């Protein structure tokens, strides 16, 4: 009797289940890799992205055990490579339910990219913006764009954003690039109807034990699952109330205000205008 009730509930749950197609950048390591596995295990299709083809192939092979996976390689520090990447997605997929802009850099030996940009702005701000905009037609049926930001946020120097100034310290460039991401996310939400696409930014949690944190801070860091779990929730959980343009701080565990600059509509639109001026 109990068995048949449980079976009935499970069957109904399954009946209402809608499998999503989720693209996650920087899924070859850290938070992105763990989040990908969790999303797959929930029955969604995951499009894995990484910059290293061998690594992408190995991870696609490993994750295939858990569900439907596809792999894409692109260097997000290179605007042209990002454009080719989104063109490949458009060519292969008619629909995308979620884009998780997760790939990120903090410390890098090569600070200036071949496009003449600070690598932090290129990878953390500009390429995610480009991807979101180019993939917008695929995301237009109640899609979600989850932008992985940080608690590290600093007022954006527009000259640094557009590559006129490239001498910022690693942490300054990182903090500015993450705030710039939150700001374009908020501005996009102002003119894209949230019944079509929702934009949300998230600090996944500070000092989680990934390669980025180990390399920069020299510490082992906290459980990476903390960050992966919140990405999964914001990406595919239907119960979570996601208001477009908002910022979720996972150190606090709720939606809250980011740096005050991100609450200034004019400043947010200026970020978009500046990014567009160099694309």
Ligand X SMILES: NC(=O)c1ccc[n+]([C@@H]2O[C@H](COP(=O)([O-])OP(=O)(O)OC[C@H]3O[C@@H](n4cnc5c(N)ncnc54)[C@H](OP(=O)(O)O)[C@@H]3O)[C@@H](O)[C@H]2O)c1
Q: Which of 100, 213, 232, 234 binds ligand X (CB under 6 A)?
A: 213
Residue with smaller CB distance to ligand X, 28 or 197: 28
Task: Report whether 118 contacts 171 (CB < 8 A).
Answer: no
- Regarding 42 and contact with ligand X (CB under 6 A), the answer is no
- Regarding 105 and contact with ligand X (CB under 6 A), the answer is yes
Q: Which of 20, 38, 51, 246 binds ligand X (CB under 6 A)?
A: 51
- Regarding 45 and contact with ligand X (CB under 6 A), the answer is no
CB atoms within 10 A of CB 68: 14
Residue 116 per-residue DSSP state: S
> What is the total count of residues that contact ligand X (CB under 6 A)?
29
75: closest CA among 52, 59, 58, 92? 52
261: closest CA among 153, 162, 188? 153
- Regarding 26 and contact with ligand X (CB under 6 A), the answer is yes
Nearest approach, Cβ of 180 to ligand X (angstroms)? Answer: 13
Cβ-Cβ contacts under 8 Å for 44 (sequence gap 6 or more): 19, 20, 21, 22, 67, 97, 236
Nearest approach, Cβ of 183 to ligand X (angstroms)? Answer: 16
Regarding beta strands 143-148 and 98-101, do their DSSP bridges make them parallel or antiparallel, or are they unpaired?
parallel
- Regarding 31 and contact with ligand X (CB under 6 A), the answer is yes
- Regarding 107 and contact with ligand X (CB under 6 A), the answer is no
- Structure token digits, residue 59: 């991870």
Q: Which of 21, 22, 30, 248 binds ligand X (CB under 6 A)?
A: 30
For residues 139 to 178, the per-residue mask of contacts with ligand X, x marking binding by CB under 6 A and - elsewhere, is ---------x-x----------------------------
Task: Report whether 185 contacts 272 (CB < 8 A).
Answer: no
Nearest approach, Cβ of 72 to ligand X (angstroms)? Answer: 10
């Amino acid at each position: 009797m109990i068995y048949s009730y449980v079976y009935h509930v499970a069957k109904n749950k399954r009946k209402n289940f809608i499998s999503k197609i989720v693209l996650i950048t920087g899924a070859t390591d850290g938070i992105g890799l763990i989040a990908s596995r969790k999303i797959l295990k929930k029955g969604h299709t995951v499009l894995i992205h990484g910059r290293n083809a061998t690594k992408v192939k190995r991870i696609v092979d490993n994750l295939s055990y858990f569900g439907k996976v596809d792999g894409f390689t692109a260097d997000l520090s290179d605007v042209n490579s990002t454009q080719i990447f989104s063109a490949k997605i458009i060519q292969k997929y008619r629909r995308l339910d979620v884009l998780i802009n997760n790939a990120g850099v903090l410390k890098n030996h090569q600070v200036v990219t071949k496009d003449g940009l600070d690598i932090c702005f290129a990878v953390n701000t500009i390429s995610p913006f480009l991807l979101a905009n180019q993939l917008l037609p695929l995301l237009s049926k109640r899609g979600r764009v989850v932008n992985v930001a940080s608690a590290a946020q600093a007022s954006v120097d527009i000259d640094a954003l557009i590559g006129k100034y490239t001498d910022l310290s690693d942490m300054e460039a990182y903090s500015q690039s993450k705030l710039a991401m939150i700001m374009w996310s908020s501005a996009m939400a102002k003119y894209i109807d949230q019944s079509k696409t929702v934009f949300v930014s998230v600090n996944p949690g500070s000092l989680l034990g990934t390669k980025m944190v180990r390399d920069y801070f020299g510490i082992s860091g906290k459980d990476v699952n903390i960050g992966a779990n919140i990405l999964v929730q914001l990406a595919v959980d239907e119960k979570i109330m996601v208001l477009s343009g908002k910022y979720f701080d996972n150190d606090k565990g709720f939606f809250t205000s980011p740096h005050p600059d991100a609450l200034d509509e004019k400043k947010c639109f200026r970020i978009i205008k500046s990014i567009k001026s160099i694309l």
